[in-house]
Amino acid sequence: MTNPTFPVTMNTHPKLPTFNMDEIAFGKHFTDHMLVADYENGAWKNVAIKPFAPFELDPSSAVLHYGQTIFEGIKAFKNEKGEVVIFRPDQNFIRFNTSAERMQMPTVPEWLFMDGMKQLIQLENGWVPNKPDCSLYIRPFMIATDPFLGVRPSATYKFMIILGPSGAYFSAPMKISIEQKYTRATPGGVGFAKNGGNYGASLYPVVLAQQKGYDQVLWTDALEHKYVEEVGMMNVMFVIDGKVITPSVDRGTVLKGVTRNSSIILLREMGYEVEERNLSVTEIVEAHKKGLFQEVFGVGTAAVVSYISRLAHEDYIMDFDVNALKVAPALKKQLNDIRMGNVPDTHGWLVRI
Ligand SMILES: *Cc1c(COP(=O)(O)O)cnc(C)c1O
């Protein structure tokens, strides 16, 4: 099926005409419409665009008890010409179905995920901010809806897409503590999937770190806490002796970020050597002692590139002058320039609506 047009019920009380686009905080405001689809008897049906509103769920719904729920995070941008583009949604589509398979949920077809997303964004065009660094955040997700308390894969699901305008995501440089007790992901586990439980489980260790004056944790491997994996909900990159090093995704404990992949490609084009491999905390500390540890930063859709001003391994503190960073700001600018159409999209990463 190509370019289906899903039925639309218009919101009779849209917020858009009076919505103040100057006050857009990430994740707080949603547009006037959403896409909804049901999975029943082995097929996706009832695909429709409706007014954004709460919906009913049976209290015994599987998602509320056993956590069969997955999501994606994507951004759309409006450039100076007023064109709306989505950044690499094909990659999110692939990853959504990877997550679905791991959580024993049905995959979604391209006509539902991609064409549904495009039709919804076309309808919500007025909600895409046209200011630098602002975007429309796209949140596709799926939940298990069987009204049944037995532990088994649900037979029914809901797929939905909601949208929210997102402001220039200013985040102060982060202070990070290297996690030595708790884990985000285990080999054989679900760390490579964007399923809800991963995020619920990460909150406690992060709050403990915050009580000690840090913003986030640098997750290390579950078995030995020896190798670094991710920073908060982002992939992480290190610059050591002029080389960029990012943890390998081979063990399934590091999420395959679209920003991570894009960053590796762009950094190599910018002339940097990039290694994807295991990186130990010992190697990092040794490099710091020799004065070779130059930068560490997070990469992800929400904040693009997040600077880190302090990294702590127990009592050993490594500080970075964020005004002296070279690689992170250059990467951030290149990613933003591509998304805003300031430089040619030589990789075909932008999907025009
Ligand atoms: C979503 C996510 C990322 C970043 O992925 P992007 O595709 O770049 O947004 C990294 N780590 C975790 C755990 C995530 O959930």
- H or E stretch covering 327: helix 327-339
Listed in sequence order, the residues at least 6 apart from 290 whose beta carbon sits closer than 8 Å to its beta carbon are none
Mean pLDDT of 14-32: 90
Indicate which CATH number applies to the domain containing 236. 3.20.10.10
Is 198 in the same domain as 280? yes
Predicted confidence (pLDDT) at residue 169 exceeds the cutoff of 80: no
Which residue range is the domain that position 161 belongs to? 16-168
pLDDT in tens, 102-140: 999 999 999 999 999 999 999 999 999 988 889 999 999
Is residue 1 one of the residues assigned to a domain? Answer: no
CATH number for the domain spanning 81: value is: 3.30.470.10
DSSP-derived letter for residue 193 is S
User: What is the position in ligand 1's atom list of the atom closest to the CA of 235?
Assistant: 10
Residue 198 in any domain: the answer is yes
- In short, whether 165's Cβ falls inside 6 Å of ligand 1 is no
Residues 93 and 46 in one domain: yes
164 CA to middle of ligand 1, Å?
Answer: 18
Q: Is the CB of 258 inside a 6 Å radius of any atom of ligand 1?
A: yes
**How high is the mean pLDDT of the chain?**
95
243 lies in the same domain as 302: yes
Nearest partner of 302 among 158, 194, 207, judged by Cα: 194
42-99, pLDDT tens digit by residue?
Answer: 999 999 999 999 999 999 999 999 999 999 999 999 988 899 999 999 999 999 999 9
Question: In this predicted model, what pLDDT tens digit does every residue of 52-65 receive, in sequence order?
Answer: 999 999 999 999 99
Q: Cα(193) to centroid of ligand 1, in Å? A: 9
Q: Which atom of ligand 1 is nearest to the CA of 230?
A: 11
Same domain, 180 and 158: no
d(CA 19, CA 271): 44
Domain count of the fold of the chain: 2
Residues 244 and 129 in one domain: no
- Is ligand 1 within 6 A of the CB of residue 230? yes
In a domain, 109, yes or no: yes
**Has residue 332 got a pLDDT over 80?**
yes
Distance CA 274, CA 297 (A): 14
pTM more than 0.95: yes
Within-domain flag for 350: no
Domain assignment of residue 343, yes or no = no
Once rounded to an integer, what is the mean pLDDT over residues 312-317? 97
